[in-house]
Structure 1
């Protein structure tokens, strides 16, 4: 699952960030121009909501991995007759594949939210689509699933109490069995914006925007949450675990933030949309995972490419786009995720290291916490690993503290460690790692950009070999 550590590079496997290309508008550029725009921004993954011929042709020979949709209105014929699925695949997939790199087919969208209850049709339709793919030998290259809203859960807080709604039980049981059997992801559309808009007294804006300086504690697990996105994903993972489906991965097929809204939608602004999506991208490609699933890939698709003027509802519904129909940006967004965290201190401008006043016992306790509950990958400070030398507790603690600090937004609270951590604004690498490996340690051990690579074994072992050569 996924492609690269940075979503648009090819260094190693990891989480990916894509974009949803909706077309519910009458003023959009042609598909060719839309795909050109996607390529200009080095976006390698896209989701479309139907099998429009012109759109499929536009993605041909681009290398962009495409998720295509079957609408709810088509569920009935697809669920009733295998021949309908065979014909659709023959007419809508085969003429364009593999030049158009189709990797997922979504059968229906958020059916539990639809006015007509079509959920009973989803799994039979999915089976028929899968059978058609098997006939063509494509079932291992194109995965079949369906998308859901968070409304599929009856409870999502605290995350450990996450549970599926019992009213969807007859739909969910065969669906989850299908996903587990075919290694397909559970696709969820997650919108912290709505949680904040509808309940601002219970949800802080900073928590929704990935820039909270405080943590929400799950009382059942002790896990700490600094953003709503992680909490909602973990609620889904706990709901899956409660039904004993532990192998199904979660994929976020829609998330984003509107840049404009009705008078009562005060949080729908370009600044907030930029903050949410920029911090989302950076959070995802760091591959820190979530508190309940540390290090787990989380693939996300940002909604959406364009503002769509034909969408009904409040003003915000027509203003989720990253771009205006004239292809100009609604706000600046770094799709690589390597820029500064929006709304937070600039990475590498501050570091978190062990306080010289801390006792050895307090330092050890803090390191133990950071390397376990804090979800820091502490393997580089183990014996014979790149950041083990110098072999003293202060250096090891500084590594662990800084890793946690950078992964959690470089905020004041992320450098407390019971009073054993201290923030500094001067790069401490030379003082902490005064050896012939300094240059490598500066990039590997304390540079926040390098935190992106710590779990990337190809880069990790390449650097380790270089260190050995230096010695």
Structure 2
């Protein structure tokens, strides 16, 4: 009896927590190919200020690794392609590197992953054959130090490693890479390491804008792309690209290897023909990406399997060659000011810059939120006025209330601006706030923080009326509320599991 109860309770915990812990984590790529960046200490403080818990660097620079010490930020460090030859030839080289570049700073600096090489199939010189021997030598060095279970070894890849990526179910690795891919995948599977991939829907759109819609690339599409082989529905390009890799892995019978997105993002500026590279599109992509990773459970082919992702990148990097877009992937300028607002928790308001589509709204529902780039003084003045003379109930943005997080001025001002706007007929003048507010047709509600709307009958829907407004929430938030492939809400699944366990206990 006791053993049966123990088994049931263990099963209950497994089912319960697997149902609620679906989200992945989001980090930032800290590239340094520039001559005008702040010192590593200042860069790390900037990362901390954004509540970012994960970061990736591309080498093992000692000053950078030391800057992350005692911050709690979990770090991915890299061994560049130029070092693959010595690392693959002699175990002593890997041992010496670990002894000098990692062990003196670990665990004060929380190093979780080592990437050996980067996108070797794209490298101008043939380094692919050196990859797996180098990975094995780094792993052996870690094992000697007793760290092989705490620090995982992998390598990053571009989508160029595939021969086919559409439809996703036809995803397959390029056979010309088989000589190193299969032993590398065997290494990953044996050591429980992820397959790391750099995924950029921006390039899919830029290279084929006639076939790939901008909304589909930005997670904004209202339509779905159907995989004709599986019938699975895709609402964004990223999921389709990731599932192409999932199917490629399954095709080689590596079904247990998880995928980690080590780079993805969107440029905020480009050359004249790079019309998709804008701050608005960059903010939209990265905001939707973060919400998708944090709130949603996997991809259509692997629902419920969380992914981790790293946004590229922290700063604009002025020494990168190529088109203008190459130097403008940063969330921040080198002077540490924001290129655009981005909330890495996945819960915040998107304050998109005004444009012709949202400054004048002739019909339909609209909201008023803070303008991206508005000064703190203007936001604070507008917030104080709305919560004071404007007679707005600002209780929801107080501590422990549904709209308090994220705890920043732009988010709180957006909530107050919208409440005043709706209370005063949702008129254009009610969203002025000295130029700090603008109207948008996109619902800024998130989680349990529901932004009020002005109804057709001239009434304002209460901010706490989540049921009435939930259908108007962004698609990523709506998807996050579903906890089952069969449309059963997560709470319903939990209740069903609990009821089943109770019934079994009574039976026993």
Name the structure 2 match of 1:169: 178
Name the structure 2 match of 1:38: 47
Matched, 1:144 2:153: yes
Name the structure 1 match of 2:310: 301
What SS does the aligned partner of 2:262 have? strand
The 5-angstrom pairing of residues 61-80 of structure 1 reads 61-80=70-89
Number of equivalenced pairs: 368
Matched, 1:259 2:268: yes
Q: Which among 126, 134, 137 is matched to residue 117 of structure 1?
A: 126
Name the structure 1 match of 2:222: 213
Matched, 1:47 2:69: no
Using the TM superposition, give the Cα deviation of residue 450 of structure 1 relative to its aligned residue in structure 2, in angstroms.
9.1
Task: Find runs of 4+ consecutive structure 1 residues off by over 4 angstroms.
Answer: 340-345, 439-443, 445-456
Name the structure 2 match of 1:153: 162
Q: Which among 28, 34, 45 is matched to residue 25 of structure 1?
A: 34
- Kindly indicate whether the alpha-carbon contact (under 8 Å) linking 1:262 and 1:316 is maintained by their aligned counterparts in 2: yes
CA distance in 1: counterparts of 2:165 and 2:478, whole angstroms: 34
- Kindly indicate whether the alpha-carbon contact (under 8 Å) linking 2:53 and 2:74 is maintained by their aligned counterparts in 1: yes
Name the structure 2 match of 1:96: 105
Question: Structure 2: which 5+ runs fail to align?
Answer: 1-19, 359-364, 367-441, 444-452, 456-463, 485-489, 500-508
Name the structure 1 match of 2:25: 16
Name the structure 1 match of 2:282: 273
CA distance in 2: counterparts of 1:338 and 1:47, whole angstroms: 22
CA distance in 1: counterparts of 2:338 and 2:318, whole angstroms: 16
Name the structure 2 match of 1:56: 65
Q: Which among 232, 235, 244 is matched to residue 244 of structure 2?
A: 235
Matched, 1:225 2:231: no
What SS does the aligned partner of 2:157 have? strand
Matched, 1:133 2:132: no
CA distance in 1: counterparts of 2:350 and 2:303, whole angstroms: 20
Q: Which among 185, 208, 211 is matched to residue 202 of structure 1?
A: 211
- Kindly indicate whether the alpha-carbon contact (under 8 Å) linking 2:23 and 2:297 is maintained by their aligned counterparts in 1: no
Name the structure 1 match of 2:189: 180
Q: Deviations over 1:338-373 (max 9, x none)?
A: 13478899xxx99xxxxxxxxxxxxxxxxxxxxxxx
- Kindly indicate whether the alpha-carbon contact (under 8 Å) linking 1:104 and 1:144 is maintained by their aligned counterparts in 2: yes
Using the TM superposition, give the Cα deviation of residue 289 of structure 1 relative to its aligned residue in structure 2, in angstroms.
1.1
Q: Deviations over 1:281-312 (max 9, x none)?
A: 01111132111011111110000000000000
Q: Deviations over 1:250-301 (max 9, x none)?
A: 1100000000000010100000000000000011111321110111111100
Q: Deviations over 1:144-187 (max 9, x none)?
A: 00000000001000000000001101010100000000010000
Using the TM superposition, give the Cα deviation of residue 213 of structure 1 relative to its aligned residue in structure 2, in angstroms.
1.1
- Kindly indicate whether the alpha-carbon contact (under 8 Å) linking 1:279 and 1:341 is maintained by their aligned counterparts in 2: no
Q: Deviations over 1:114-146 (max 9, x none)?
A: 010100001000000000000111011000000
Q: Deviations over 1:213-271 (max 9, x none)?
A: 11111000000111100000000000000011100001100000000000010100000
Q: Which among 329, 335, 344 is matched to residue 335 of structure 1?
A: 344
What SS does the aligned partner of 1:254 have? strand
Q: 1:13 to 1:222 in 2, by over 3 A?
A: closer
Matched, 1:319 2:316: no
Question: Structure 1: which 5+ runs fail to align?
Answer: 1-10, 351-408, 411-423, 427-438
Q: TM-score with structure 2 length normalisation?
A: 0.68
CA distance in 1: counterparts of 2:43 and 2:318, whole angstroms: 16
CA distance in 1: counterparts of 2:23 and 2:241, whole angstroms: 20
Q: CA RMSD in A?
A: 3.1
What SS does the aligned partner of 2:28 have? strand
Q: TM-score with structure 1 length normalisation?
A: 0.73
Using the TM superposition, give the Cα deviation of residue 335 of structure 1 relative to its aligned residue in structure 2, in angstroms.
1.1
CA distance in 2: counterparts of 1:133 and 1:202, whole angstroms: 46
